[in-house]
Copies of this chain bind each other. A is one copy, B any other.
Amino acid sequence: MTEQMTRIALARRPDGMPVPEDFSRETAPLPRPAEGEVLVATEYLSLDPYMRGRMQDVKSYAPSVDIGGTMTGQGVGRVLASKAEGFAKGDRVTGMTGWASHAVLPAGELRKLDADVSPTSALGVLGMPGFTAWTGLKKYGRPEAGQTLVVGAATGPVGSMVGQLAKLAGMRTVAVAGGAEKCALARDTFGFDATVDHRAHDDAEGLRAALAEAAPDGVDIYWENVGGKLLEAVMPLMNTHGRIPLCGTIAWYGGFEDVADRLPGFMRSMLVKRLQLTGLIIFDHWDAFPQFLEEVTPKVKAGEIAFLEDIAEGLETAPQTFISMLQGGNRGKQIVKI
């Protein structure tokens, strides 16, 4: 009997928020590595908001997933079989396995993991989300001691890292998160100086009043993960020469509010306050990944940087877990154990 693998495929393109029917579960014979390739048994799969974009058939920074194709994603696993120098059976590696129990990957697209850091950290605090926070803050946020940072989705793997790195740089840090539990997490686990619960405010005005209290000296860096009413709330609070690293607009993934054109007012704020907005896609910056690991790994090992992981069980739970994550159902970095 041939061994089987399981994978989650894109069944159809979602309209707004994805639903379970947009995904399908497929089995196939276990693939074999060719020369220079490695067969990996996935242990952990990373779920990230960017995957929502890959489900669309629009020109974007990376190719869409085809209908019937395996959902894209980073995984951590063990080498089952290797036809590549430098990789041996049993090695723990990370790479773009996709939402699949097994994957064959070229050796050049795999990275061996340190034995003394937890395997899941390679997907979060020491993986793409952590690297995103570190890169965007350094290059486009340019933290200055004594200034104020606001970040939405603040307990997420990017937001929590942004807050902690800004705090280490001497900034006042303000977390925006959904619900009292997440606000407590932001304060107690991630060390934010102040928190704002966006669920407690229906409109941008209410949210703005709460933010103004949390950021009495205004906002110098707004890390944009969210869009929507948070962006609208923050803009009037921005200080002159503020920076806005733009990492995502999760509030708009499911559709747009029916409001009058906000672009003229936005552009006016950008001009009058001489703000800088820079789009950040982490795939442009891999060159700096070794520097990131060198700088941040010791801080994680020493416990100076906290991180949270939510681990769901079983590849078959990935679609529902992903949908729940897009709706804010996770606490920390969302991972699926396979």
* A contact residues vs B (CB 8 Å cutoff): 53, 60-61, 224, 227, 231, 240-241, 246-249, 252, 256-264, 266-268, 270-281, 284
Contact = CB atoms under 8 A, between A and B. Distances in A.
Contacts of A279: 270-276
17 contacts: A224-B267, A227-B267, A246-B270, A249-B267, A249-B271, A256-B260, A258-B260, A259-B261, A261-B262, A261-B263, A271-B280, A272-B279, A273-B279, A274-B278, A274-B279, A276-B276, A276-B277
A241 B264 CA distance: 23
Nearest to A271: B279
Copies, count: 2
A274 B280 contact: yes
Q: Is the interface of A mostly helix, strand, loop or mixed?
A: mixed
A272 B60 contact: yes
Contacts of A231: 263, 267
Contact of A240 (B61, B261, B264): B61
Contacts of A271: 246-249, 279-281
A268 to B, nearest CB: 7
Given A61-B272, A258-B261, A271-B280, 9 more contacts: A61-B273, A231-B263, A246-B271, A247-B271, A249-B267, A256-B260, A256-B261, A274-B279, A274-B280
